[in-house]
Homo-oligomer: A and B are copies of this chain.
Amino acid sequence: MKLTINEVAKLAGVSKATVSRVINESKPVNQDKKEKVLKAIEELEFKPNPVARGLVQKRTGLIGVLIPDITNSFFAEIVRGIECVVQEHQYHIVLCHTFHSHEKEMEHLRMLREKYVDGIVFMTSKVTEAHKRFFSENKLPVTFVNRKCNDLRSFSVDINNYQAAKEITSFFLKRGHRQIAIIRAPLTDRTSGYERFKGYQDAFKMHNIPFKEHLVLRSTFKIESAYKVVKRFLDEGHRATAIVATSDLMAIGAIKALIDHGLRIPENVEVSGFDDVPIAMYYNPSITTIRQPIIEIGKTAGEMLIAKIEGITVTEKNIVLPHSIIFRKSTLKSPVLEG
């Protein structure tokens, strides 16, 4: 069980320093000795102990990933994207649930630092002062996903949420809709909440149409939350001819509530989602949505972080990936009359 660098050194007839040099390619080593070492390593199936190595090098091959909730398929896809690239580079992911709690975030951040992770991918609804302080006190590389941070040393990858929301809202406005409701997340969520809502508002402004406060439905990112809020909206006698949901899960909750209320999608109400998680395509009806390149976002975040960790200079620190509208059956293609 105790297979160490010493055994390799003994078998190869060299010192352990030489073995270390061969393994790390840190210094030139004589060709024949090198071969002997390599052969010994192979024969013994030797793998250096990363904990020991971590102790001296101050690195662990671990990357902390902080997400609100893995059961939200958006985050799951992101994590998968990250995992794909870190696997290639021999890193491992340490997964931390924050459940949208800033306290939990800080707690995890501290624990991760103590566990000497090499870097962090951070998905939070809002970058707070406490976060900034943390990352400036600890020179731990960090990439924010879906969140910008005006910190010079951190990276981010995102899409233009504002623009996307504006586009989908305009799509409805142009086709004559006037009663366009929005299901939005808390505005404390900078991108998915605030920016998407702002895009919705500005689309109205652009078209010189006043938007109505009662058409703003407040929800969380959970299906059931959107379901409830739409149900209440309908129960109270309100109507909309189109609904802009700011996530696909919200769209699902909305559609379900609409259907339960006897309405037909898209004939009576058109609904759009956001993110294009896999289920959007397979829901009934399939959901028109803003496609984000989710896996790509995860991959990019992972790549940037690893580049930073390994000391490769990254030119683009804040990457904005392209989005697009995917038209499916939850909206009509033909223009409708004014609602």
Give the contacts of A9-33 with B (CB-CB under 8 A): none
Question: Which one, A75-83, A160-168, A193-201, is touching chain B?
Answer: A75-83
Majority SS at the chain A contact face: helix
Give A77 Cβ to nearest chain B Cβ, in Å: 5
Q: Is A93 close to B, CB under 8 A?
A: yes
CB atoms of A49 and B284 under 8 A apart: no
Instruction: Mark the stretch among A94-102, A143-151, A237-245 that contacts chain B.
Output: A94-102
Copies in the complex: 2
Q: How many residues of A contact B (CB 8 A)?
A: 49
A116 touches B51 (CB 8 A): yes
Alpha-carbon gap, A282 to B110, bound state (A): 38
Q: How far is the CB of A284 from chain B (nearest CB, A)?
A: 5
Q: Is the CB of B49 within 8 A of A114?
A: yes
Within 8 Å by CB of A71, from B69, B73, B116, B227, lies B73
Min Cβ gap A328→B in Å is 12
In contact, A282 and B76 (Cβ under 8 angstroms):
no
Contact B114 A47 (CB under 8 A): yes
Q: Does residue A115 face the partner (Cβ distance < 8 Å to B)?
A: yes
For window 268-303 of chain A, which residues contact chain B by CB distance below 8 Å? 278-279, 282-285
User: How long is the Cα–Cα vector from A252 to B84 in the complex, in angstroms?
Assistant: 27
CA distance A284 to B50 in the complex (A): 50
Q: How far is the CA of A283 from the CA of B283 in the complex (A)?
A: 7
Q: How far is the CA of A87 from the CA of B114 in the complex (A)?
A: 15
21 contacts between A and B (CB under 8 A): A47-B110, A47-B114, A52-B55, A55-B55, A60-B115, A65-B95, A69-B80, A71-B73, A71-B77, A71-B278, A76-B76, A79-B95, A83-B97, A92-B94, A92-B111, A92-B115, A93-B95, A94-B94, A224-B282, A256-B282, A259-B284
